Amino acid sequence: MSGALVERLRAARRILLLTGAGVSAESGLATFRGPDGMWEGRDPMSLATPEAFAEDPETVWRFYAWRREQAARAEPNPAHRAIAALQQERSGTSLVTQNVDGLHERAGSPETVRLHGSLWRLRCTGGCGEDEDLRQDLGTLPARCACGELLRPGVVWFGESLPQAAIAAATAAAESAELVIVAGTSSVVYPAAALPELARRHGAYVVEVNPEATPLTGRVDEALPNPAGTALPALVRAAGVRFEES
């Protein structure tokens, strides 16, 4: 961690945290890409599409039921908790996540901009407008709406637009941030992957937290090759926020 970064952490009024699946890796959740990301021998990329759902809704529903079970069993880790502590202490902090697992919310993050939706929401594929929290067991999959049409997971699939309000909030946060911390994302999925670049053009100091190099690594002000569960508590403490790991 450079002196310039410590300075920014102390002084920045607007900080943007942009997170991906790597932030939940230390909670035991598989990342989207990589050897442990497979499900029944299939690449998640091939399941997270409207085409896959149209062709075989039951298989896609089973994939998401499995993801929900994993997420329900997992606990937030020090990375999630450090982010929540920073948000609580410094009101100009924004959290924008690509994650759908709900762990930021469970760690106590007061506000989370969810770019890719949530495993804990469902929507109707018909025209009835149903869009609700998932509460009870869905029973037989694929689940059906009261109107008779199929329900679908409340996530954003490849080729679908992101929620308008989320993309607007994320863009505004990127344009006004003095410091951006990008943690645990492979930085390959757009439009999320364009946010650090946008912030940088608007003058932000951009830091990446990822043990592996990504397409973003060469274009940041500082790359911290450490796991999020170690790096984020350290960054938050350097910002002057008291944070206890347990």
Of the residues 80, 104, 116, 202, only one is catalytic, namely: 116
Q: Is 3 in the site for ligand BV8 (CB under 6 A)?
A: no
**What sign has the CA pseudo-torsion 36, 114, 13, 179?**
positive
Q: Is 94 in the site for ligand BV8 (CB under 6 A)?
A: no
Among 4, 11, 38, 128, binds Zn ion (CB under 5 A): 128
Q: Is 219 in the site for ligand BV8 (CB under 6 A)?
A: no
Distance, CA of 198 to CA of 211 (rounded, Å): 23
In the beta sheet, which residues pair with residue 101?
none
Cis peptide before 191 (omega within 30 of 0): yes
Distance, CA of 195 to CA of 18 (rounded, Å): 8
In the complex with ligand BV8, which residue's Cβ is closer, 61 or 243?
61
User: Please, what is the minimum distance in Å from the beta carbon of residue 2 to ligand BV8?
Assistant: 19
Burial of residue 152 (number of CB atoms within 10 Å: 0-12, 13-18, 19+)? buried
User: Please, what is the minimum distance in Å from the beta carbon of residue 139 to ligand BV8?
Assistant: 21
Among 87, 94, 112, 185, binds ligand BV8 (CB under 6 A): 185
128-147 residues in contact with ligand BV8 (CB under 6 A) are none
# chain residues binding ligand BV8, by CB under 6 A: 37
Whether residue 116 lies in the annotated active site: yes
Distance, CA of 219 to CA of 162 (rounded, Å): 25
- Judged by beta carbon distances under 5 to 8 A according to partner kind, the member of Zn ion, ligand BV8, none in contact with residue 125 is none
Burial of residue 59 (number of CB atoms within 10 Å: 0-12, 13-18, 19+)? middle
- Token pair of 115 as six digits: 């770019």
Helix spans in 147-206 (H): 164-176, 195-201
Residue ranges binding ligand BV8 (CB under 6 A): 20-22, 25-26, 31-34, 37, 48, 98, 100, 116, 155-162, 183-186, 188-191, 209-212, 214, 227-228
Residue ranges binding Zn ion (CB under 5 A): 124, 126, 128, 130, 145, 147, 149
Which are the catalytic amino acids?
116
